[in-house]
Amino acid sequence: MRLRFTSVTNGMATATHGGDRIVAEVQNILWTVPRDGTAATPLTPPDLEPSRPAFSPDGRKVAMSAYRGGTFSIWVMDADGSGLRRLTDGPFDDRAPAWSPDGRTIAFCSERGGDPVAGSPYRIWAVSVADGVLRQLTGVPEQQGPGLDGVWEDFDPVWSHDGTRVLFVRAEVAASGLTARTIASVAATGGPVIAEHTTTIGNLLAPAISPAGRIAWLRSIPGPPKTEAIALFAEGREVVLDGEIAPAPPRWIDDERLLLTVGGRFRMIRPHRDHIGEEIPLNATLEVQRPRYAVKEYMLEAEQSRPVRGVHLPHLSPDGQSIAFAALNSLWVVSVRGGTPRKVMESSPTAYVQGPVWSPDGHALIFTDDRDGLNTVRRREQNDGRETVLAPDGRVHAALSPDGTRLACLDMAGNLVVKDLAAGGEKVLAAPLGGGGLPSRPSWSPDGRYLSLCDRNRLNNRFREGLNLIRVVDTDSGASRLYGLAPHVSLSDRYASGPVWSPDGHWLACVSESALWLLPVGPDGAPNGPAQALTDEPADHPSWAGDSRTLLYQSNGRLRLLTIDASGSPSGAPRTVPVTLTYRRPTPVDTVVHAGLLWDGTGSEPRADVDILISKGLVTAVEPHRPGRPAARHVDASDGTVLPGLWDSHIHPWQYTYGARQGALQLAYGITTTVSLGGFAYEQTRLRDDIAAGRLAAPRLLATGELLDGSRVGYSMGRAHRTREGLIRSLARAAALDWDFVKTYVRSPYSQMEEAARHAHERLGVLSGGHLCAQGLLAGQDLTTHLLATERAEYGHGATAEGHTHQDTLEIYTRGDFHLIATPFTAMPLIGLHPEVADDARVTTMMPSWDIAVVEGLAARRPTADELTVLEREVDVYRRVVHDGGRLLLGTDAPLSPVGLHLHVAMRALHRYGMSPAEVLTTVTRAPASVFGVADRLGTVEPGKLADLTIVDGNPFENFDSLIRIRGAVRGGRLHERAVLEQAFSHSVAHAAPRGGWATVSDQMIRDGCCEGHHRF
């Protein structure tokens, strides 16, 4: 397959002096671009991922920052692409190379010199091209300069024309985030930092110096969410141009002309003299090999008895004889000898039970459920089943102190809370360090003085990622300390990868690289020796017996027991605890749905007055209406419209905070199938079982695992990998847990993306995807999960700063057999045009308090003209993808946005800006069914297919806004009426908000989130 690129989305170019030779980065590949428009020549392989190319002063070499291997390093190659070599290396990122005028030294910005635990802010460094010797230029001890009274970052270096100084941007951390308003300089030999230029508005980036010393820079001013306006300045004055400027560094090619990217084209301009300049034609052809593989048979309905895979959060009893766990929306206990477990309690389908742990004396189970509307920690006695509420108001991840007098848990904003059970007082010990999900369950030291948990630092303020670290909190003072399992090593995730304190206090059990480790610690949790690996097999969810010699963990869906000796070494091979537990779906009753109007999704026009006959969960016929048809249930939709069941093709199962509300809300908004694009592997497997068994009211779930990431992570559901062996262990779980999708994340290097895609296709028969467009295409992935989201480079190729997507990216989505899941967050302000949606019972009764606050806030103000313009631009991309033959699927990224409601707002946006009702509905019915390989069973209403229907009180083909008036949803032949779902949550009791109010819950999820912005200074 060949793709041809003629314009660029955030591409950047560099040129030799005079502009005779141009090298440009287009879709993460460097190309030689002739000025006459003849064919461009690719210079770099896909796995290099170069950015910020810069020609050497003599034009013979090109420097770049490249991501090969999982960190950004400085690389140099000959101008023809030969002689590629790495100039810097290590666990820290090195970015933005700049040549000295004599060509002997490259300045760059780097985290090196920082600390993987305390943080590693960007500073300016220099490296000798000949021998790789490094020098730190800024951030050295006792250096004087602006901004030193706070936290700052230095980046985007450039040399003065005489080579005596290095100029760069210095950004300071303010309450609103990183603010870059100073261009500073430092002598090439070191010394104090001097402010060269400052501004009071916007952010400065990418200064450039001409051979004669003329200076130019870019300035960005934030616009509506996810956008910013870029302006070019030369010699202190704004340069007026006739197109949008990309946030790619401008390059002087002589004393008169700048090379930059404007309106998707490379241009040479004379500042203050040209408004258009010389356009450099692009004619780049990319050869692409697309994968071919057999699609798996998805388990969409449990028509036959099936073994339970979703044994969730198992916990070993203090006496080492029993294991408690959650499955099928119930709590169970099984003997360590294995067998059929005993059911302890069963939750209703509109509540969610999770996280059983044993009391220290083994007499009770401590667990969480949301039967009162929000997560509540309860104690259940094992002898008589008596239950006691320990902590209401949204608490999860509970653990009793060793003496049983105090309860540690997390509130919905991730705060570590300790409650004195006798006195009833509760205090917040520590706020979470990172956003994007809660820290892990806390674990007590034997003396009850300290709590350990997994939390994430942030390495710097330019990029959100950090490491999953061990955080030890003093319960007396609230002071905390951070420790790494080893230098630059992250725990696997922040869900159930430890740390778990051994009852004797000598060890913390942790999961890293998806293997089980022990870290020796002192009484205060400080490491007193190196960590040691206990297993080479995949591991999750460790817990201890009271003897501190027996560990329980999960491996590839099995419960495993491992005995260790006094030195912490295994004293034998682990053994499996077999669990015999099965389920099947409740038998759906025969049903006739009388549709006033049926849009069946096949491409045919809507049909009036038809009956849809359903038997054993399948559509058996679609016929003209006839009264009196025999059936156990009749659904009268004669005054409404029936559609194929709606899909939300991008969600994250977040029941550990949302509980049963998430699935029930989706059903109430007419969604019958959801696709998880990241969550906690065992919880998703459990949820899929719960739903298929009829034990949880929710749409059908296509499940995946965690976000397979590189050595750094953002979200709590991100799975960190420094090694190929760790990735292979993580992927081994995919077959055992029967993943339906494999997702790599922002820091996963090309080699890991390629391996994950190959595993998804060849071993599982499922799709693979992530955030990255060209890298994903070339690595063999099938789709991107957003148009615009977090990237690992300073800017991505989904859309420009002002929201434009150019021909290169559209070519990939329309000609590359590469699909796009749209998640239009920019549509949310449309709620201000329809404030009545905030008064809907699905909002006021079914949503959690933090989402109610979000919806009410959006309903209280009308969108601005700029917000609507940005939304229109985004929808125009989706419209062009559809009209030019691409596959567009609609998703929401819920619960980063209000569950269920966002899908309807997004559909309204697509229709508002040019897509027909049928085109919009196809993105949530037939298109996702086809892309995910289940079009023979889902996506349309036809005989022989599963009976998935959405029943609308209105006609969206006459009034598209009526689509939100969902009356009910049929999933696999089972009817879920909206009124019944609303009633199930009408009894919810009032709950006290966490410290800072309910908004802190949403803020904690969104903070450091994937889509809060798209450009990082």
Q: What is the pLDDT of residues 759-776, one digit of tens each?
A: 999 999 999 999 999 999
pLDDT in tens, 654-698: 999 999 999 999 999 999 999 999 999 999 999 999 999 999 999
Beta bridge partners of 523: none
What pLDDT, on a 0 to 100 scale, did the predictor assign at position 1009? 65
Q: What is the residue-wise DSSP string for 846-904? A: IS-HHHHHHHHHHHTSPPPHHHHHHHHHHHHHHHHHHHTT--EEE---BTSS-TTHHHH
Packing angle of the helix pair 681-692, 724-737 (nearest 10 deg) = 10
Angle in degrees, CA 726, 728, 730, rounded to 5: 70
Element (H, E) at 396: strand 395-400
Cα first-last separation, the chain? 36
Residues in the chain: 1017
The span from the CA of 911 to the CA of 429, in Å, is 48
Average of per-residue pLDDT across 392-412: 97
**Residue among 98, 81, 75, 77 nearest 32 (CA):** 81
Residue 403 vs residues 324, 360, 477, 548: alpha-carbon distances, Å: 21, 7, 19, 17
pLDDT, average across residues 402-412? 97
Flag whether pLDDT at 749 surpasses 80.
yes
| Mean pLDDT, all residues of the chain | 96
Q: What is the DSSP string of 306-350?
A: EE----EEEEE-TTSSEEEEEETTEEEEEETT-BSPEEEEE--TT
CB-count burial class (<10 Å; 0-12, 13-18, 19+) for 631: middle
Q: 2-287, what's its fold?
A: Neuraminidase (2.120.10)
Query: Tens of pLDDT along 984-998?
Result: 999 877 788 888 888
Report the pLDDT averaged over residues 789-814: 94
Taking CA atoms, 373 is separated from 12, 17, 389, 666, 990, in Å, by 52, 67, 14, 16, 9
- Residue 1011 has a pLDDT of 58
Sequence ranges of the chain with CATH classification 2.120.10.30: 2-287, 310-582
Angle at 306 between CA 301 and CA 312, to 5 degrees: 95
Q: Does residue 581 register a pLDDT over 90?
A: yes
Q: Which residues sit opposite 407 in a β-bridge?
A: 400, 419
User: At 243, is the secondary structure helix, strand, or coil?
Assistant: coil
Tokens 């006959």 sit on residue = 613
Q: What are phi and psi of 955, to 5 degrees?
A: -125, 100
One DSSP character per residue, 106-156 reads: EEEEE-TTSBTTTB---EEEEEETTT--EEE-SS-TT---TTTTS-EEEEE
User: Which pLDDT belongs to residue 276?
Assistant: 85
DSSP state at residue 960: G
Q: Tokens 């068994």 label which residue?
A: 693
Q: Looking at residue 571, what DSSP letter applies?
A: S
Tell me the sheet residues that pair with 51.
65
Pairing type for strands 707-708 and 718-719 reads parallel
Retrieve residue 971's tokens: 């999933």
Coil vs helix vs strand at 182: strand
The pLDDT of residue 35: 95
Rounded mean pLDDT, 283-297: 96
Beta strands in 9-91 (DSSP E): 12-15, 22-26, 29-32, 41-42, 50-55, 61-66, 73-78, 85-86
Mean pLDDT value across residues 823-838: 97
Question: How is residue 484 written in tokens?
Answer: 């790494």
- Looking at the whole model, is its pTM more than 0.75? yes
Q: Which residues pair with 634 in a beta bridge?
A: 592
**What architecture does CATH give domain 310-582?**
6 Propeller (2.120)
CB of 463 within 8 A of CB of 420? Answer: no
pLDDT tens digits for 542-552?
999 999 999 99
pLDDT band at 250 (very low <50, low <70, confident <90, very high): very high
Nearest one of 359, 387, 396, 352 to 373, comparing CA atoms: 352
What is the predicted pLDDT for the residue at 671? 98
Q: How far is CA 816 from CA 11, 756, 777, 881, 923, in A?
A: 19, 20, 8, 11, 19
Q: Is 945 helix (H, G, I), strand (E, B) or coil?
A: coil
Contact between residue 534 and residue 551 where contact means Cβ atoms under 8 Å apart? yes
Asked whether 699 and 669 are in contact (CB, 8 A), the reply is: no
Tokens of 180: 């870059």
Tokens, residue 647: 């899909």
Q: What is the mean pLDDT of residues 554-567?
A: 97
pLDDT (tens digit per residue) in 912-958: 999 999 999 999 999 999 999 999 999 999 999 999 999 999 999 99
At 149, the pLDDT band (50, 70, 90 cuts) reads confident
Q: Which residues contact 250 (CB under 8 A, 6 or more apart)?
A: 206, 208, 216, 218, 232, 258, 259, 260
What is d(CA 776, CA 744) in angstroms, rounded to the nearest whole number? 9
Q: Does residue 357 contact residue 382 with C-beta atoms inside 8 Å?
A: no
pLDDT at residue number 999: 85
Percent of all residues in the chain with a pLDDT value above 90, rounded to a whole number: 94
